[in-house]
Amino acid sequence: MKKVILVRFGEIFLKGKNKHIFEKLLIHNILESLKDFKVRLTKISGRYVLTDFDEDYENQIIDYVSKVFGVYSVSPCVQFESSQEKIEEYVGSLTFSSETFKVDVKRADKRFPINSTEYSAHLGGIILDNFPNLKVKLKNPDVTVYVEIRDDGNTYIYDKIIKAVGGMPVGSSAGGLLLLSGGIDSPVAGYMMAKRGMPLHAIHFHSFPYTSESAKEKVLTLAKLVSVYTGNIVIYVVPFTKIQEEIHKHCDGDFMITLMRRFMMRISEKIAKENNLKAIITGESLAQVASQTIESITVTNGVIEDLPVLRPLIGMDKEDIMEISKKINTYETSILPYEDCCTVFLPEHPVIKPKLEKVLKEESRLDVLNLIEEAIKNIEIFETNNIN
Ligand code: ATP
Ligand code: MG
């Protein structure tokens, strides 16, 4: 008898003609997430089985695997060669502290002589003999003993089905560039696109010395936390101070945010294209702040040449975004009180519905192309794999 972990994946994406590509990716991503553990992965029909791991790390392995996109649920279980004698001996050794239970047998191996319903009743009988006060309850019992007699010749017995993240394996879509601030929203936006299979790179605009080293560290930490789900993230840190100072010096202060955001978008699209990324991702949510009215979004989006800008949070309430951010463990870092570049030179009355004509007039006072070139030249590059 061995302790193993059953890993279930989404049946849907494994049915199409790209099945083998998805499957290869998923196995690769699972093994990558477990690279620090000794473990073996084998495939049985419709599942993966993790074996040969150190039992001390079982919970940690389960935790990691349930964060791999494409994995739908996970069960720690025991595995042994299918035989009536062994199954009954094991079921007979189980102990219960609950009041109600049921046995759920799935017989995939038709060589096994007894059908599922009959065998569930038989095994239930063995348990009742041992625990006469227990009651069978078919709907919502306290404990379900799952017995899977599979066609690989093995039986798997477990009582827990742990829900995993679901989604599509990262890498099944082309990559995207996430505009990552230190806030609550952008890490969630990245998580949501990665959940649909999109690998991430991240870009952060940094206004040193107006914003501190710690503000930058915070963003790297956030990227590291998101990378638990996505695998390695390359982070481009763009020096943004000069651009902000030039805007501040030459333009109407009320347009600060609009102008800044147009620079961010232009630089992001360039970096995305240079790195073969096919989309830009932001954490914008309609009407959350002044720069997120549809008029503002239109004016900032206007500088984009051809990449799609994905805004997975656009229709979400802050409460719901915060809930996800807590679930994915970025919230506590996001709320650390370091200033963002957007709070530097913040105007008292930012325009809420900027007119393109006026924005272009303000922008014409700047040497846009050179400012962009200089910022890009001084980018610092990090990778989450190299961050502890
Ligand atoms: P967040 O919580 O993600 O910071 P926010 O609610 O503070 O978002 P804004 O400051 O208007 O909203 O930013 C909107 C989006 O623009 C962010 O979600 C992020 O994608 C991007 N962004 C803002 N500041 C930066 C920055 N310094 N570097 C990179 N991207 C940024
Ligand atoms: Mg912000």
**Residue range 105-141, pLDDT digits in tens:** 999 999 999 999 999 999 999 999 999 999 999 999 9
Distances (CA, A) of 19 to 40, 149, 172: 22, 25, 11
First to last CA, the chain: 37
- For residue 208, the model assigns a pLDDT of 87
The C-alpha atoms of residue 144 and residue 137 are separated, in whole angstroms, by 9
Q: Report H helices in 251-308.
A: 256-274, 294-301
Tell which one of 222, 342, 346, 382 to mutate to probe ligand 1, the residue whose CB is within 8 A of the most ligand atoms: 342
Supply 202's token pair: 């991240």
Top pLDDT among 313 and 339 is at 313
The C-alpha atoms of residue 327 and residue 145 are separated, in whole angstroms, by 29
pLDDT higher than 80, residue 216: yes
Instruction: Work out the pLDDT band at 13, boundaries 50, 70, 90.
Output: low
Question: How many angstroms does the Cα of residue 183 sit away from the middle of ligand 2?
Answer: 5
What mean pLDDT value characterizes the chain? 93
SS3 162: strand
Question: How many angstroms does the Cα of residue 385 sit away from the middle of ligand 1?
Answer: 24
> Nearest to residue 22, comparing CAs of 135, 173, 129?
173
Say how many CA atoms lie within 13 Å of 140 toward its Cβ.
0
* Environment class of 365 (CB within 10 Å of its CB; exposed 0-12, middle 13-18, buried 19+): middle
Do 88 and 126 touch, CB atoms closer than 8 A? yes
Say how many CA atoms lie within 13 Å of 269 toward its Cβ.
16
| 179 Cβ closer than 6 Å to some ligand 1 atom | yes
Take atom 23 of ligand 1 and give the residue whose Cα is closest: 181
Question: How many angstroms does the Cα of residue 181 sit away from the middle of ligand 2?
Answer: 6
| 282 Cβ closer than 6 Å to some ligand 1 atom | yes
Take atom 12 of ligand 1 and give the residue whose Cα is closest: 284
- For residue 53, the model assigns a pLDDT of 96
pLDDT higher than 80, residue 288: no
SS3 2: strand
- What percentage of the chain carries pLDDT values higher than 70? 97
